Copies of this chain bind each other. A is one copy, B any other.
Amino acid sequence: MEGKSMKKISRFSIALTLFMAMFAGPTSAQHVPSQGALDELVKMYCAAWNEPDAQHRRELLEKVWASEGTYTDPQSHVEGREALVEHIGRFLKNSPGARIIQSSRADFHHGMFRFAWKFVGRDGKTVMEGIDFGALGPDGKLQRIVGFFGSIKPL
């Protein structure tokens, strides 16, 4: 029973985070970043994925990632900036020498963006490509990212 109600609370908390994240909503004309600002945001976010020092990583994410932002990919879901600092730490520990490299510019509309990236191994070879979709929060920071791994599946 306790597990169940924890799960309910956790689901509610996720929903509440998303609710707050999305409140600026598609009709809001606020916080439309310039291409340059968006590129800078994504560049710094990717830099955080390549920063092995937790405190440096935290400082990078403080600049670009909302404190309650959520990160989701096919294998993980983490809520909050500090959880992302730790999640990236685990990734870097498990894949020493690997790098996450932005491989496209970002485009943006109605508060939402997309950009492509590559996961490059220690030997410089691409391990995986992917695309991140996401939402900017009312403060102009990354509020949510949902990533998809690999090329899109052909019909």
Contacts and interface: CB of A to CB of B under 8 A. Distances in A.
Q: Majority SS of interface residues in chain A?
A: mixed
Contacts of A116: 152
| Copies of the protein in its oligomer | 2
A25 B19 contact: no
20 contacts: A10-B27, A11-B25, A14-B25, A14-B26, A14-B27, A16-B19, A18-B19, A18-B25, A19-B19, A19-B22, A27-B77, A72-B112, A73-B109, A74-B109, A104-B155, A105-B152, A105-B153, A105-B155, A107-B148, A109-B148
Contact of A114 (B27, B112, B131): B131
B15 A19 contact: yes
Q: What size tier do the contact residues of chain A reach? A: 35 or more
